Amino acid sequence: MNNHLVTDTVTLTGRSLRHVLRSPDTIVTTAVTPVVMLLLFVYVFGSAIETGQDGGYVNYLLPGILLITVASGVAYTSYRLFLDQQSGIFERFQSMPIARSATLWGHVLTSLVANLLSLVLVVLVALAMGFRSGAGVLAWLGVAGVLVLFTLALTWLAVIAGLAARSADGAGGFAYPLLFLPFLSSAFVPTAGMPGPVRAFAEHQPVTPVVDTLRNLYAEQPLGHDGWLAAAWCIGLLTASYGLAMTVYRRKLA
Q: How far apart are CA 55 and CA 53, in angstroms?
A: 7
Under a CB-based contact definition with an 8 Å cutoff, are residues 207 and 187 in contact?
A: yes
Amino acid at 228: W
Task: Choose among 56, 20, 230, 25: nearest CA to 143.
Answer: 230
**How would DSSP label each residue in 1-40?**
--HHHHHHHHHHHHHHHHHHHH-THHHHHHHHHHHHHHHH
Q: Inter-axis angle of helices 224-253 and 207-218, to 10 degrees?
A: 130
Is the pLDDT at 151 greater than 60, yes or no? yes
Is the pLDDT at 1 greater than 50, yes or no? no
Number of domains in the chain: 1
C-alpha triplet 214, 246, 253: angle, nearest 5°: 150
C-alpha 225: how far from its chain's center?
A: 22
Is the pLDDT at 91 greater than 80, yes or no? no
At 96, is the secondary structure helix, strand, or coil?
coil
**In this structure, is the dihedral angle defined by the CA atoms of residues 187, 189, 192 and 193, taken in order, positive or negative?**
negative
Buried b (16+ CB within 10 A) or exposed e, 106-137: bbbbbbbbbbbbbbebbbebbeebebebebee
Q: How far apart are CA 179 and CA 105, in angstroms?
A: 24
Long-range CB contacts (within 8 A, 24+) of 94-102: 94/253, 98/8, 98/12, 99/2, 99/4, 99/5, 99/8, 99/9, 100/249, 100/250, 100/253, 101/5, 101/246, 101/249, 102/5, 102/8, 102/9, 102/11, 102/12
Is the pLDDT at 23 greater than 60, yes or no? yes
Range of the domain at 154: 3-253
Express as a percent the part of the chain with pLDDT over 70. Answer: 87
The more confidently predicted of residues 3 and 71 is 71
C-alpha 222: how far from its chain's center?
A: 24
How would you classify residue 130: left for phi > 0, otherwise alpha for psi between -120 and 50, otherwise beta?
left
The pLDDT tens digits for 157-215 are: 999 988 888 787 777 777 788 888 999 999 998 888 889 899 999 999 999 999 999 99
Is the pLDDT at 96 greater than 70, yes or no? no
